[in-house]
Every structure is written in structure tokens, then in C-alpha cells.
């Protein structure tokens, strides 16, 4: 029988996504003022981060902006050892790296983001640890303007 073939393909693709009024406002505040904005549901009063135009639980339109702090509490965490493709670069992200779900002060949802610490042997993070955002010097207008979160051990 003829030897079986595998046909390889590699392609570079690009997209342009419409981000709508609410995301434009969120990004403007993040990039120009280093402020993090959430939207509050008029019915259940939940403050959503990322902001979105509708509360899925109440089917209500969200219009009330609420400022959320860049400090928060770790609600879940891990250290990732297996390389995944970083969607922002298309390349495997260097490992290990710390990840957490962080409830920012003033928000009711949690934000998944990177942790400064990535060594499981010396990890001082646990559920309940207070953390603060470490910002890039120059904002580019994406969530990556926050490099990662670091423990507030020496603060407060």
C-alpha cells in the first residue's frame, strides 16, 4: 500500500473586532487614567468586570459605571507548568507562571490574571491573599497594561 501522507498547512490570519461603547470607555480609562471601570446592574447591584452591556442573570441593561480599585483579594490560584499558546503573541508562553482569580476591591466578579510569583516551593499566595496590580510604564490600551499582580505583604 502507498505510504500515508500528512498535508501540512501554516497560515497567518488577522481579524478586526468591534468593541462597542462600553469596552471603548473601559479601555480609555485604563490607558489614559490607569483607572479600572466596572458596570453595575440596576437590579441585582452586581458590579461586573469585565464590563458588559447586559446582566445575564437579570436580563437588565447596564449603564452605571463604578470605579474598581487596582487592589484586591486572591480567590483562586495556580502555577502553570505546561506551555500554552499565548493568544496575544501566537507563541508558547514561558513557564512556570502564576495565575489567579482576583476579586478587585469594588467588583463582584473576579479577574483572571497573572501573579508575580511562580515558584510553587516558595509561593506565599493563598486564597485570601491581598494583591496589587503592577502596571506597565506605558499603557497600550489592553488588559496587558497590567503586567501581573503582586502580594501586598509590606503594605497596610
Shortest distance, CB of residue 155 to other proteins, whole angstroms? Answer: 24
Q: How far is the CB of 63 from other proteins (least distance, A)?
A: 19
C-alpha cell at 116: 508575580
- Of the two residues 43 and 127, which places its CB atom closer to other proteins in the complex? 127
Least distance (Å) from other proteins to the CB of residue 135? 14
Chain residues in the site for other proteins (CB under 8 A): 4, 6, 9, 15, 17, 19, 23, 48-50, 56-57, 75-82, 84-88, 90, 99-101, 109-114, 120, 127, 142-144
Residue 109 or 152: the one with the smaller Cβ distance to other proteins is 109
DSSP string, 36-98: EEEEE-TTT-PEESS--SEETTTTEE--EEEEE-SEEEEEEEEEE-S--B-TTTSSBPPS-EE
Residue 11 or 156: the one with the smaller Cβ distance to other proteins is 11
- Residue linked to cell 503594605: 155
How far is Cα 115 from Cα 98, in angstroms, rounded to an integer?
5
Q: Which is nearer to other proteins, 143 or 152 (CB)?
A: 143
CA distance 57 to 100: 24
Amino acid at each position: 500500500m502507498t505510504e500515508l501522507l500528512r498535508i501540512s498547512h501554516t497560515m497567518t490570519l488577522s481579524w478586526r473586532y468591534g468593541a462597542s461603547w462600553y469596552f471603548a470607555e473601559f479601555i480609555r480609562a485604563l490607558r489614559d487614567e490607569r483607572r479600572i471601570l466596572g458596570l453595575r446592574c440596576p437590579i441585582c447591584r452586581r458590579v461586573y468586570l469585565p464590563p458588559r452591556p447586559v446582566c445575564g442573570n437579570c436580563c437588565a441593561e447596564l449603564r452605571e459605571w463604578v470605579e474598581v480599585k487596582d487592589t484586591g483579594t486572591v480567590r483562586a490560584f495556580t502555577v502553570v507548568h505546561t506551555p500554552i499558546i499565548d493568544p496575544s503573541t501566537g507563541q508558547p508562553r514561558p513557564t512556570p507562571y502564576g495565575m489567579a482569580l482576583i476579586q478587585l476591591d469594588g467588583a463582584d466578579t473576579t479577574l483572571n490574571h497573572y501573579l508575580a510569583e511562580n515558584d510553587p516551593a516558595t509561593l506565599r499566595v493563598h486564597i485570601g491573599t491581598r494583591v496589587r496590580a503592577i502596571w506597565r510604564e506605558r499603557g497600550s490600551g489592553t488588559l496587558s497594561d497590567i503586567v501581573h499582580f503582586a502580594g501586598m505583604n509590606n503594605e497596610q
